[in-house]
């Protein structure tokens, strides 16, 4: 059987840091209010001259540098994002032109905060089918450009960044299995409804900003992720105690803690970056994974559970041996 293993990781965070205290000077909020509800202390914000493709490039360079491979050795690029630089071409196609890749398949995947998980699952399918040997998978988003900076309910939640992994075919795990879900009936609870394909007749009523019914999203997220964890353990024929680290989507510390509790994992076994990064959407999981590896917590041979939940609703995860 062909498995998919992680070779290396990389990340990029914009230089500008916006703290909760900075936000309190911009709107009716406070550090205590934000931290008590989300666990967030700060977030990184792209510069005016930075794009989501720029961030992909920097994360890719770092992942390649941490691997034994060159760009020419990669034969697939998949990027999870909801904030591409252009309507078309894709960020993946632009990245393919920026670095010395061969003319390989390059595509974007849109699944909001679950985008990296869905992109990784797609790369895994390519590799297991024999259509690719080695892939670069990136999660990136620039949601700071899609928040109303006067709305404290959403503006405090998001940051920008990019995370990358290089994966390759392996005779041993690797990734043991995925579980992916979507439920479009919840779509109105979390959305940006002004898109390039919106109907002209009501375009003026649509908003380019994140709109979220936070309490309802929280309820569905906790329920969905708790169920997801059980599905993954059963599918991979594992017990909760087999998991060495949880790398969750970094949206809210309370959701992270609820998922860890369902696994009976102490928080020391959970990679938490939400306090420093906030919610970076599709970049959240690969940024946290890279952080856990580079700080020395996640070691080779550790079993790691990745999970994410996002607009759509979409949610998914996998268990892998790093």
3-state secondary structure 197-227: CCCHHHHHHCCCCCEECHHHHHHHHHHHHHH
**113 in active site:** yes
Distance CA 260, CA 135 (A): 30
User: Which residue in the list 249, 252, 277, 318 is annotated as catalytic?
Assistant: 249
pLDDT at residue 126, as a whole number:
98
pLDDT at residue 128, as a whole number:
97
User: Per the structure block, which two tokens stand in for 239?
Assistant: 């017990």
Distance CA 112, CA 84 (A): 11
User: Which residue in the list 44, 277, 279, 318 is annotated as catalytic?
Assistant: 279
pLDDT at residue 200, as a whole number:
85
Cα 263 to chain centroid distance, Å, stands at: 21
pLDDT tens, 229-246? 999 999 999 999 999 999
Residue ranges of domains in the chain, CATH in brackets: 3-171 (3.40.47.10), 176-195+204-321 (3.40.47.10)
3-state SS, one letter per residue, for 4-65:
EEEEEEEEECCCEEEEHHHHHCCCCCCHHHHHHHHCCCEEEECCCCCCHHHHHHHHHHHHHH
Residue 67 has pLDDT above 90, yes or no: yes
30 Cβ contact partners less than 8 Å away, ≥ 6 residues apart: 20, 24
Q: How confident is the model at residue 119 (pLDDT cuts 50, 70, 90)?
A: very high
Distance CA 159, CA 43 (A): 5
User: Which residue in the list 20, 44, 56, 113 is annotated as catalytic?
Assistant: 113
Q: How confident is the model at residue 204 (pLDDT cuts 50, 70, 90)?
A: confident
Q: How confident is the model at residue 62 (pLDDT cuts 50, 70, 90)?
A: very high
pLDDT at residue 272, as a whole number:
98
pLDDT at residue 202, as a whole number:
82
pLDDT tens, 141-181? 999 999 999 998 999 999 999 999 999 999 999 999 999 99
Q: Judge contact between 165 and 294, C-beta under 8 A.
A: no
Beta bridge partners of 162: 12, 140
**Looking up tokens 């992916």, which residue turns up?**
180
Cα 277 to chain centroid distance, Å, stands at: 12
Distance CA 260, CA 89 (A): 39
Residue 302 has pLDDT above 90, yes or no: yes
Q: How open is the CA angle 62-124-171, to the nearest 5 degrees?
A: 95
Distance CA 271, CA 1 (A): 30
Residue 205 has pLDDT above 90, yes or no: no
Beta bridge partners of 270: 246
| 46-82 exposure pattern, b = at least 16 Cβ within 10 A, e = fewer | beeebbbbbbbbbbbbbbbebbebebebbbbbbbbbb
What three-state secondary structure class fits 296? coil
Burial of residue 98, with CB atoms counted within 10 A of its CB: 0-12 exposed, 13-18 middle, 19 or more buried: middle
**249 in active site:** yes
């Amino acid at each position: 059987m062909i498995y998919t293993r992680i070779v290396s990781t990389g990340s990029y965070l914009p230089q500008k840091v916006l703290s909760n205290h900075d936000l309190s000077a911009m709107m009716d909020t406070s550090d205590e209010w934000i931290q008590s509800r989300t666990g967030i202390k700060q977030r990184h914000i792209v510069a005016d001259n930075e794009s989501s493709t720029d961030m992909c490039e920097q994360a890719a360079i770092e992942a390649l540098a941490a691997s034994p491979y060159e760009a020419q050795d990669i034969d697939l690029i998949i990027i999870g994002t909801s904030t591409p630089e252009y309507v078309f071409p894709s960020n993946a196609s632009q990245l393919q032109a920026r670095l010395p890749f061969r003319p390989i398949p390059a595509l974007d995947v849109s699944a909001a905060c679950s985008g990296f998980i869905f992109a990784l699952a797609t790369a895994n399918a390519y590799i297991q089918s024999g259509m690719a040997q080695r892939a670069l998978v990136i999660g990136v988003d620039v949601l700071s450009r899609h928040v109303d900076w006067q709305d404290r309910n959403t503006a405090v939640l998001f940051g920008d960044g990019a995370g990358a992994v290089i994966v390759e075919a392996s005779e041993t795990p690797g990734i043991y299995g995925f579980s992916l879900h979507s439920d479009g009936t919840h779509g109105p609870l979390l959305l940006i409804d002004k898109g390039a394909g919106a109907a002209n007749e009501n375009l003026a009523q649509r908003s380019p900003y994140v709109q979220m019914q936070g309490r309802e999203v929280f309820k569905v997220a906790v329920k969905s992720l708790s169920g997801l964890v059980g599905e993954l353990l059963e599918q991979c024929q594992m017990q909760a105690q087999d998991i060495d680290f949880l790398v969750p989507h970094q949206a809210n510390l309370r959701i992270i803690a609820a998922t860890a509790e369902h696994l009976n994992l102490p928080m020391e076994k959970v990679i938490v970056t939400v306090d420093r990064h906030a919610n970076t959407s599709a970049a959240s999981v690969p940024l946290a994974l890279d952080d856990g590896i580079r700080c020395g917590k996640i070691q080779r041979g550790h079993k790691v559970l990745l999970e994410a939940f996002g607009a759509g609703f979409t949610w998914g995860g996998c268990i892998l041996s790093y």
